[in-house]
Amino acid sequence: MTTPTGPVVYVVDDDQGMLDSTVWLLESVGLNAIPFTSGHAFLQACHSRHNACVILDVRMPAMGGLNVQHAMQERGITLPVIFVSGHADVPIVVRAFKAGAHDFIEKPYNQQLLLDSVQQALNGASTQHTSSQAQTGLQLRLQSLTPRERDVLLPLVKGYTSREMAELLALSIKTIDLYRSRVMQRMQARHLPDLVGMAIAAGLVDPLALG
């Protein structure tokens, strides 16, 4: 394998069609994309010395994405990991962020959102500055929530269903669904994994107590 001269994006996905389309997308913007159809093959070829990040599918046969992430940590490979999954439930998202995931994106993903996440992962030098800005924006969005929306936020990121939240807050399921939608909009969360990550980053929930 030729040694890449620029930033590298490792793409690990057992779905050949998804793998090919992701590699094509990354190469279309000038990035070096190296594909793998299994976690084992990726771990054998990965070099932590590269300016690189990893796009890692959660559900794969033999060795799932969370197990690959754990193996990376055991080997001292500290590359940023962007998880992708078509089935992103709260426990999986929490485990990923708890273990240091950079991002978690649901399939089918928006191409620009994925590219933005990759660029942020590769731009490690400016992470501290952008992180401070992101934290300020997050606090402002939290402050914009009404008391009732904050009541819905915590059970939502803990994985409660609409029915369970309705019983907890003595509201109708329809009303809960309206509040859920408003919370997602005010927090600018694309999907539930985004909201979980925000709640953890803001210190509203302890990731060790979730999942």
Q: Where are the domains of the chain?
A: 8-122, 129-205
Whether the pLDDT of residue 139 is over 90: the answer is no
pLDDT at 134: 61
Whether the pLDDT of residue 136 is over 80: the answer is no
pLDDT at 97: 81
Specify whether the CB–CB gap between 152 and 53 falls below 8 A. no
| Residue 207: exposure state from Cβ atoms within 10 A (0-12, 13-18, ≥19) | middle
Choose between 67 and 128: higher pLDDT.
67
Q: Quickly state the pLDDT bin for 126 (edges 50, 70, 90).
A: very low
> ∠ at Cα 13 (88, 99), nearest 5°?
50
Is residue 82 classed as helix, strand or coil in its secondary structure?
A: strand
Note the helical H segments in the chain: 16-28, 39-45, 65-74, 90-98, 111-122, 127-143, 147-157, 162-169, 173-186, 192-201
Separation between Cα atoms, residue 83 and residue 118, nearest integer Å? 11
DSSP string computed for 122-140 = H-GGGHHHHHHHHHHHHHH
Domain at 129-205: CATH code: 1.10.10.10
pLDDT at 5: 63
Q: Quickly state the pLDDT bin for 127 (edges 50, 70, 90).
A: very low
pLDDT tens for 20-62 read: 999 999 999 999 999 999 999 999 988 766 688 999 999 898 8
Separation between Cα atoms, residue 56 and residue 19, nearest integer Å? 10
Considering the four listed CATH numbers 3.40.50.300, 3.40.50.12170, 3.40.50.2300, 3.10.20.600, the one that applies to the domain covering 8-122 is 3.40.50.2300
Highest mean pLDDT among 16-30, 60-74, 189-203: 16-30
Which has the minimum average pLDDT: 84-88, 131-135, 184-188? 131-135
pLDDT tens for 77-113 read: 888 999 998 876 777 887 888 778 888 888 888 888 8
pLDDT at 1: 47
Highest mean pLDDT among 31-40, 66-75, 114-123, 140-149: 31-40
Q: Provide the token pair at 70.
A: 């754990």
pLDDT tens for 161-181 read: 999 999 999 999 999 999 999
| Residue 81: exposure state from Cβ atoms within 10 A (0-12, 13-18, ≥19) | buried
Strand 81-85 with 103-106, pairing: parallel
Give yes or no on whether 8-122 and 129-205 have one common fold: no
Query: Between the CA of residue 97 and those of 71, 93, 143, 196, 197, what are the distances in Å?
Result: 16, 6, 23, 9, 7
